[in-house]
Structure 1
């Protein structure tokens, strides 16, 4: 292990410890329940403190953008810790996806917005998925046209845009004569209609309609028609980040389940002494550790991998994480019994998040088909 790697790991460990302590103080389970009952469209109360108190929103960004240069390793470390507190949003939408797209499309507006994001002054949501797209990243029907003065008009609809109710700006994909492009759209832009709703795991999302929305020329991010490869990369990074989040979710489920079976007694002895339950817990632990190991190994290569290598590796990690979420989530509920799904017990909240992670950015069946297609294409190319 090199000195640089050791220093990076030490820095990430300090960031994780600081974040875990902060979340314990500012986003404990009772505080989460209060926020869920309040259910407004302001960002979660803990969010600003990640920038103002911890100064860690830029941990993954290069130093030239005001960050620490941690790259994907920093995203994964922070997402696992956030997952353990059910606090991954709006970090996922703002820093992993949003900031990643802004970095790869530099310009005056993108640079200024990225600075506001790192300072905790702006929240981003990625408006890409549509009612008909079904995880097809190129299936976009929202359209834009360029007017004679260089400005744009945007029309279409987006579905289940996570963190959109909390966002100050949307990053919107749209199709034009040159291909797929990206635009920065402030949420208060005239002609934008947003229908917000809670998600089953306690987050917020929205369906959005763009009715001939007028945008200035500098709203375009990057080159017109060149957005698809950057969107593919951003979504692959987000998928791997969700795998890391799932590790944090599952570790909390394992911890709570172990505590419960050691305390719960039948026939005068803790149920943790029953061999069949020990086997079940061992299976849950193995699924979790396999997903954690694969996620970490993909994180080591993703920054330097080709697009095909990145896609195959990320999809493989997502399949492992989804299967582990199912095994650990179902095991935790069954070992807790009916009380495992009550609102008053944390395990039910974590199981719901684990269940939604299984399908986020594509279910296992979609990722398995993706890996198969990529491998077939690789074999044909080598023939």
Structure 2
């Protein structure tokens, strides 16, 4: 069976499962639940659908569908506002584990795909401003093992995580390319403190503090001091994954808005009959179509392989600019056309708009990605 058919079947199964287990009312109930447990739908992705193996290589027990599976799954999850903890656990966490192999990584990966572990990537720091290399958290030798000290900010899915993959620096300035390592830190490790909080869109995050955290030699993932290429690849793939998620979010927003303006009447006529509303809807539709085209094009290009890190970075940032602009155009347009009721908790459109707004800045806002594309273009010109 072709990969396209397999992915379509996965999306169809996942969409029906989420409709049964994570409808709007079920999501509202999950938002009111305790912060320490993942959403109720999460265990079934592994135990009922066996979905968490889809992207992994076949030699690691997966289906070998790679990035294409992540994008298809994230688009479907986005339509139900269910991206986490798949994004943190599978796209980021499992992506790093499979590229920094070892006994500890392989054992944890098996727990993850079986639904017995949730991962969070603790990389961003308060002064980093979306830089992929800015890390001040310090790593030092301590006897046979390691000592970890530092702070991490806005670690998504951290309140649900059983394990953290933490970036730390053993040498160099805070923004140096060399000297970065990845470590596996179980949640119950002494010296690790977590301050959890909800985000405005219903996601969960936390600030992490590492104070004299002692780790065994096996906690190091891969080679010490050489983790930046894997970090950059994982963050680029996660960035493209949230672009795919945004497509599911925005399709739902546009659909709900179209349904509303076709029914709502003003001055004896439906809103959809007014030319200014038609123009606004056309702008929303065009922004979404541009994001769809660019996200799918970049996904196909990366899945085909043979792309340099600079080419990957430029392509992903271009897709993120289109997706972020679509989030703003469709999200704001949907709420404005709904009027004040668009921001109520009882109507789904407000929830989808808040997720779209968060996606706009996730892994870097439009301004950051535009600067990144420009810088990469300058480097390419200088090399030529």
> SS at 1:50's partner residue?
helix
Determine if contact 2:139/2:168 at 8 Å carries over to the other structure: yes
User: Deviations for 1:17-52, whole angstroms, at most 9, x for unmatched residues?
Assistant: 000000000000000111112243101100000000
Q: Return the match for 2:156 from 158, 162, 166.
A: 162
| Other-structure match for 2:346 | 344
Deviations 1:83-130 (A, max 9, x none): 000000000000000000001011111001001111010000000001
> Which residue of the partner structure matches residue 93 of structure 2?
98
For residues 147 and 116 of structure 1, what CA distance do their matches in structure 2 show?
28
Classify the secondary structure of the residue corresponding to 2:164: strand
Following the alignment from structure 1 to structure 2, what is the Cα–Cα distance between the partners of residues 373 and 87?
Answer: 34
Which segment is superposed worse, 294-303 or 244-253? 294-303
What's the offset of the Cα at 1:266?
1.5
Aligned with 1:354 (options 340, 353, 356): 356
Aligned to 1:88: 83
Where 1:260 maps in the other structure, the secondary structure is: helix
Mapped partners of 1:94, 1:33: distance in 2: 22
1:28-177 matches, cutoff 5 A = 28-149=23-144, 151-177=145-171
The answer as to whether partners of 2:35 and 2:204 remain within 8 angstroms in 1 is no
How far does the alpha carbon of each residue in 1:251-290 deviate from its partner, in whole angstroms, 9 at most, with x for none?
0000100110111011222111111111111110110011
Give the C-alpha shift of residue 136 in structure 1. Answer: 1.0
Shift of 1:148: 3.0
Partner of 2:373: 371
Contact 1:66/1:118 (<8 A) preserved: no
CA contact (8 A) 1:99 1:114 kept: yes
- Aligned residues between the structures: 376
Correspondence for 1:330 = 332
TM-score (norm 1): 0.97
In structure 2, stretches of 5+ residues that fail to align are 172-177
**Matched-pair contact (CA < 8 Å) for 2:142–2:214:** no
- Which residue matches 1:321? 323
Q: 2:205 corresponds to which residue?
A: 205
The equivalent of 1:266 in structure 2 is 266
RMSD over aligned Cα atoms = 0.9
Per-residue CA distance 1:273-320 (angstroms, 9 max, x = gap): 111111111110110011011000000111411100000000000000
SS in 2 for 1:38: coil
CA distance in 2, matches of 1:54, 1:171: 26
Match of 1:184 in 2: 184
1: CA distance, partners of 2:98 / 2:29: 35
Determine the structure 2 residue equivalent to 1:251. 251
- What is the SS of the residue equivalent to 1:214? strand
**Contact between 1:61 and 1:69, CA under 8 Å: does it hold in 2?**
yes
Paired residue secondary structure (2:44): helix
Q: Does 1:283 align with 2:283?
A: yes
Q: Deviations over 1:153-193 (max 9, x none)?
A: 10000000000000000000000037100000001101000
Q: 5+ unaligned residues in a row in structure 1: which ranges?
A: none
